[in-house]
Copies of this chain bind each other. A is one copy, B any other.
Amino acid sequence: MDRSTALQLAQQLQTGKITPDELADQVCQPRSAQLAQTTIDLDRARRCGYPEVVFGEGKSVEMLTEIFQRQCAEQIEVLATRVDADKAAQLAKQFPQAHYNTIGRTFRITASETPTPRTGKVAVVTAGTSDLPVAEEAAETLDWMGVATNRLSDVGVAGPHRLVERLDELCDAQAVVVVAGMEGALPSVVGGYLAVPVIAVPTQVGYGASFGGLAALLGMLNSCAANVAVVNIDAGFKAGYLAGLIAAQTAGAAP
């Protein structure tokens, strides 16, 4: 709490506008909900612009159900990542209005019936078809944020003209997500052609010495293109989130 707010509260108390209890509540207001085994951050949208996204891996259907119910009750747009098909099938029975992306493994429950208008635009580029699951996770995240997306698939550097032929489609994006495994060279090449931030996502796709995506990760971190930032291996969600944040605030639509 900043000092001016605290001073204001003190003056309101002094002038009888609020009670001591109200002041104490303001100073120490609850901003999270403790469920049976999880603690939800209800303050996330206020602080960070978007509500908490649920990491589905390692959570039981019971835990997820409890979390989703509470988030729905709070009018929060639900997005959960890394939900496998089995769990999704069980959850779908409880939340029939939900949408499950079978490739990207995301689970969403929309609060309002009218779709959010799109503001900002992000291109999601993949080097090969094996990178699609990660790209879909990014694209779903962007859609959840209300950001328009354009997918360019399978334009890796082994056929350099494939990207060049489609550069036009990248020119109206405010940020680009590039998903690649193997040597992870595509973000450098994309970055060399563009004037917007490139969020690079390494994937585990590749032969032996890709070491679970390490090769692509190091390649992207060492990119000689200045406009390339990197997220974790297979972290489609985070790449989509960052690109969406940039696109939305550039388009003047950031929360």
Query: A99 near B: Cβ within 8 Å?
Result: no
**Chain A 128-168 interface residues, beta-carbon cutoff 8 Å to B:** 128-130, 132, 153-162, 165, 167-168
Query: A185 near B: Cβ within 8 Å?
Result: yes
**Count of chain copies:** 8
Closest chain B residue, CB of each to CB of A185: B185
Type the 1/0 row for A104-139, where 1 means its CB is closer than 8 Å to any CB of B: 000000000000000000000001111010000000
Contact-residue bracket for chain A: 35 or more
A219 contacts B132, C-beta separation under 8 Å: no
User: Binding site of A, secondary structure by majority: helix, strand, loop or mixed?
Assistant: mixed
Which A residues are closer than 8 A to B by beta carbons?
1-3, 6-7, 10-11, 13-14, 20-21, 23-24, 27-28, 30-32, 37-39, 41, 43-44, 47-50, 52-53, 55, 57-59, 63, 127-130, 132, 153-162, 165, 167-168, 174, 182-185, 188-189, 191-197, 199, 202, 204-235, 237-238, 241-242, 245-246, 249-250, 254-255
* Residue contacts A-B, CB under 8 angstroms, 27 given: A6-B23, A6-B28, A10-B10, A31-B161, A32-B165, A37-B153, A48-B193, A57-B130, A156-B224, A157-B188, A157-B192, A158-B224, A183-B222, A185-B223, A196-B254, A208-B233, A209-B233, A211-B214, A215-B222, A216-B222, A219-B219, A222-B232, A226-B242, A228-B242, A229-B229, A229-B238, A250-B250
